[in-house]
Amino acid sequence: MSQVLLEVGALVLSADAVIPEPGYILWQDGVILAVGRGVYPGPRDQVEVISRPRAVAIPGLVNTHGHAAMTLLRGIGDDLPLQAWLTERIYPTEAKLTGEAVYWGTLLACWEMIQSGTTCFTDMYFFMHDAARAVEESGLRAVLSWGMVGFDEQNRTQGIRNSRSFHAQWHRAAQGRIQVTLGPHAPYTCPPDYLAEVAELSAELGVPIQIHLSETKREVDECIAEHGCTPIRLAERCGLLNRPVLAAHCVHLTEEDIALLHERDVRVAHNPQSNLKLASGVAPVVELLRAGVTVGIGTDGAASNNNLDLFEELRLAATLHKGVRQDATAVTAGEAFTMATSAGARCVFLPDGHGTLNPGAAADIVLLSLDSVHFLPTYDLLSNVVYAAGAGDVTDVFVAGQPLLRQGEPVTLDVERIRHEVRRLEAILGPQA
């Protein structure tokens, strides 16, 4: 494939490498070859040039936790206590889902994430062959797992079987953009011996694990009552933490939990808006960062957020902890940006250097319009990105060097078709159906 040269008005290579003036990015075969300020000094023959002088380039955002097809459940239950939300709204609607519905719901999520500057996301759901098909078509990068629960023998067997078949068919598929991981749902839905079985499968297949851990106080209290330890410790006792693990939420942690997460290099997905909306609480992100734990940012599913806009999450991660701790220096703009990009990439087990615009990183690039009010004025470009910019400022998105959004228009998706199919499914899934 030929080389592509992207000329932009400014660049944020990473939180600590900002170029607030014109520069360029050169890539080939989906990997960044060169980046710099000013005019690209190399030869231009046989180079495709894309010129966006009124845009700032940032690394694509990484959504470290979610359930993509839950876009189909957006707004189906709000302002309800968690149990009522789950049992009265979410579970009955999910029971109506089909592989076809998950396909369209995942495409809807991909559309929303592309428009709001996400280039890589994680998913834990079901009918994952259909979800993977949607990801392949969208052009996004994704870390996918078939959700596993272990209430009975049939669940357990089916979960292992689903994960094996999904792994066999989709791991490293879509030109390497899809990674398959294992997705045991949580310790309260997967008994300890099942978690141990999943850990063994993870070692056999050589893939990481993603799981919900310590999301609510109730979950932690019940785990202690039943197992005599916290969910984090239980995961360790089951051998899960011997494997690479991405733990979603981690809202209610002890000091010992935090030390254990750090010791085992468990990656944490912080979902500030979902944790607020579902009344789970506020995760101890400052303590996690201070302990050296890798923390990324996630939206969670659109039934508990209710959008997939990582700019909102990034901003909330940067402001929420300041407010609840009454400390204006808690979680800086740079720390929040890192969580949403390079630390996010580490959370989802992408190679080192990913989530930046440095040479060697994947060419997963988002452009924001410098003509937006959110960049007026610009004294500190990173501040504008973190504290002012929004999804509406995203003009172009590239994943592995391929354009997914071009000057505001989706390239890979037939959005009219998605809109049509989702409206059709809405009539089937809705509370009146």
How far apart are the C-alpha atoms of 340 and 319, rounded to whole Å?
A: 14
Amino acid residing at 416? E
CB of 309 to a copy of itself, least distance (A): 7
CB of 4 to a copy of itself, least distance (A): 27
Q: Is 300 annotated as a binding residue?
A: yes
Nearer to a copy of itself, 19 or 350 (CB): 19
Nearer to a copy of itself, 85 or 398 (CB): 85
Listing DSSP states for 170-238 in one string gives HTTTTTTTEEE-BEE--TTTS-HHHHHHHHHHHHHHT--EEEEES-SHHHHHHHHHHHSS-HHHHHHHT
Q: Is 185 annotated as a binding residue?
A: yes
Q: Which of 69, 177, 64, 211 is nearest to 130 (CA)?
A: 69
Nearer to a copy of itself, 237 or 406 (CB): 406
Per DSSP, the three-state class of 315 is: helix
The alpha carbon dihedral of 71, 75, 78, 81 has a sign of negative
Element (H, E) at 255: helix 255-263
Q: Is 94 annotated as a binding residue?
A: yes
CB of 294 to a copy of itself, least distance (A): 21
CB of 418 to a copy of itself, least distance (A): 8
Element (H, E) at 10: strand 3-14
Element (H, E) at 25: strand 23-28
CB of 248 to a copy of itself, least distance (A): 16
Nearer to a copy of itself, 137 or 312 (CB): 312
Nearer to a copy of itself, 82 or 196 (CB): 82
The alpha carbon dihedral of 315, 328, 232, 177 has a sign of positive
CB of 171 to a copy of itself, least distance (A): 29
Q: What six digits make up the tokens of 11? A: 């660049």
Q: Is 222 annotated as a binding residue?
A: no
Q: Is 212 annotated as a binding residue?
A: yes
Nearer to a copy of itself, 348 or 429 (CB): 429
Per the annotation, binding residues are 65, 67, 94, 185, 212, 215, 300
Per the annotation, binding residues for substrate are 94, 185, 215, 300
Per the annotation, binding residues for Zn(2+) are 65, 67, 212, 300
